[in-house]
Chains A and B, each alone.
Chain A
Amino acid sequence: DTGVSQDPRHKITKRGQNVTFRCDPISEHNRLYWYRQTLGQGPEFLTYFQNEAQLEKSRLLSDRFSAERPKGSFSTLEIQRTEQGDSAMYLCASSFENSDGYTFGSGTRLTVV
């Protein structure tokens, strides 16, 4: 297990299309986080899971966004009817409950044209 993996690394899509990203966390970690980062800004929290339960969602996560972690392992983040404002880097991180350490993936860069 070499860390947090995200797929794809890059995605270009037309406005109005749906996109789905995948995150594979470190296997021992029971917490999984999604962040969004726009150019020149720090990452902004979107949502997190503990095992398969989605425990918190940011107001940034509009109705067009949905995240799942069906078996408490990998997670998917889907954006429906993409808009140009969705263009950003989507970062996934994992951690173990009651541990300080977070490990981030390399991110998925989404460009909506």
Chain B
Amino acid sequence: SQQGEEDPQALSIQEGENATMNCSYKTSINNLQWYRQNSGRGLVHLILIRSNEREKHSGRLRVTLDTSKKSSSLLITASRAADTASYFCATDAGNMLTFGGGTRLMVKP
């Protein structure tokens, strides 16, 4: 079974706009990770945020974590057509990753 839910399930924006995806989870975690998956391909690790961190940045990516609400958000700034992909959050409670259902992002040129 999947740990959490992602919102929205699908997002369509214009190039240059920002994209925000949200993830909710159910149990205590050590860290939360975001992955990207192009159609039919494997998962690529984007960013990890530990349970004692509230915000993290990596290039055009900004991740927040609110452990009291058991939620996280991923912001992609100044989106590009090449950002079109599915994005998954995954929680790590120590032994394995548990994934959400993903957000399918389409960035129109």
Contact = CB atoms under 8 A, between A and B. Distances in A.
Is B a genuine binding partner of A?
A: yes
Contact of A101 (B2, B45, B98, B100): B45
Given A100-B31, A100-B92, A102-B33, A44 B99 contact: yes
B31 A107 contact: no
Interface of B: 1-2, 30-31, 33, 35, 40-45, 48, 50, 88, 90, 92, 95-102
Interface of A: 33, 35, 41-45, 48, 55-56, 89, 91, 93, 100-107, 109
B96 A33 contact: yes
A104 B96 CA distance: 13
A41 B102 contact: yes
Interface of B is mostly: strand
Nearest to A89: B40
Nearest 3 CB-CB pairings of A with B: A42-B99, A106-B42, A104-B43
Contact of A42 (B41, B45, B100): B100
A89 B44 CA distance: 15
B51 to A, nearest CB: 11
17 contacts: A33-B96, A35-B99, A42-B2, A43-B43, A43-B88, A44-B1, A44-B2, A48-B96, A56-B96, A93-B97, A100-B30, A100-B33, A101-B45, A101-B48, A104-B43, A104-B45, A109-B40
Contacts of B30: 100
A109 B31 CA distance: 29
Given A42-B88, A100-B31, A91 B95 contact: no
Contacts of B1: 44
Interface centre among B41, B42, B45, B90 (most CB of A within 10 A): B42
A55 to B, nearest CB: 7
A41 B2 CA distance: 10
A102 B96 CA distance: 9
A45 B96 contact: yes
A107 B42 contact: yes
A67 B40 CA distance: 23
